[in-house]
Amino acid sequence: FHQACIPFVQTARCYARPVRRKRKDIPSHLDDLPPTMLKKDYANVPIINSVDDVVKRLLSLEMASQKEKMKIKTQQLVEKVRRSPNDNGSFEVQVAMLTAKIRTYEEHLQRHPKDKNNRRRMLMAIDRRKKLLSYLRRVRYDTFENTCKQLNIQYTLPPPYCRRITKRWVVKKAFCRKVFEEVRKLKAPERLKQRREWQARARAAKE
């Protein structure tokens, strides 16, 4: 009876808390931007020189978001390769803009390696940049070399023949090889007969 009056007490399970690994500081291609630089929208405003230091700090890159820093970085890369001050759509400018995007995607994927959507976008941007660089290399080689040098791009030549291997292609290739071997077996007696005739003619010519 005394045991029945004791309330049911469930034993507490002491689960160990998982140890969170400290994330490593991944270097960013935006680290070379000075924090005192003004944002892109306020850089050319005439009244910006007469405002207070606090306002300047609020309008600087120190308080800017990742998107605003990307605008400045893209503009810097474009200035290195553009043909003229009004050039906004040449192949070199497009390569510079894609390079800024690709480097941002690479840094994001280092922190979030399972983000498949951004990985797909990065691969699409890389393919687009490869096409533009291959065209520049074929048409204007000096511009291609200068663009790769200024943007620090390592261009690798594509293979001479590249074909996507699919299941249908593998089955078709195996079937064609099987047909070729069967035809070769059927023609083997005829080829042997021709070879013997050639050997007989060669012997007769020597005699």
pLDDT in tens, 66-87: 788 888 888 889 999 998 988 8
- Residues 100, 53 share a domain: no
Q: Is residue 179 included in any domain, yes or no? A: no
Query: What's the rounded Cα separation, in Å, for the pair 90 and 84?
Result: 10
Verify that 50 and 117 share a domain, yes or no. no
pLDDT of 13 higher than 60: no
| Residue written as token pair 């996507």 | 164
Residue 196's Cβ-side half-sphere holds a number of Cα atoms within 13 Å equal to 6
Q: Do 106 and 125 share a domain, yes or no?
A: yes
Nearest to 130 by CA among 103, 91, 183: 91
CATH number of the domain at 145, please: 1.10.287.10
The predicted structure's pLDDT at residue 176? 93
The span from the CA of 104 to the CA of 126, in Å, is: 12
The pLDDT assigned to 58 comes to 67
C-alpha torsion sign, points 192, 196, 201, 202: positive
Residue 2 lies in a domain: no
Query: For residue 56, is it within any domain?
Result: yes
pLDDT at 123 over 90: yes
Highest-confidence segment of 18-27, 63-72, 187-196:
187-196
Range of the domain at 137: 71-151
pLDDT computed for residue 1 by the predictor: 47
In a domain, 20, yes or no: no
28 pLDDT band (50/70/90 cuts)?
A: confident
User: Does residue 207 lie in a domain region?
Assistant: no
Q: Residue 88 — very low, low, confident or very high, per pLDDT cuts 50/70/90? A: confident
- What are the distances in angstroms from CA 155 to CA 25, 101, 149, 158? 28, 17, 10, 9
pLDDT tens sequence across 145-159? 999 999 999 988 877
Q: How far is CA 147 from CA 33, 59, 71, 194, in A?
A: 21, 32, 19, 62
Residue 167 exposure: Cα atoms within 13 Å on the Cβ side: 0
Q: Is residue 86 situated within a structural domain?
A: yes
Give the confidence band of 129 by pLDDT, cuts at 50, 70, 90: very high
Q: Do 39 and 82 lie in a common domain?
A: no
- Note whether residue 88 is domain-resident: yes
pLDDT, mean over the chain? 81
114/99 Cα distance (integer angstroms): 22
pLDDT at position 206, please?
Answer: 83
Least Cα distance to 148 among 99, 90, 85, 76 occurs for 99
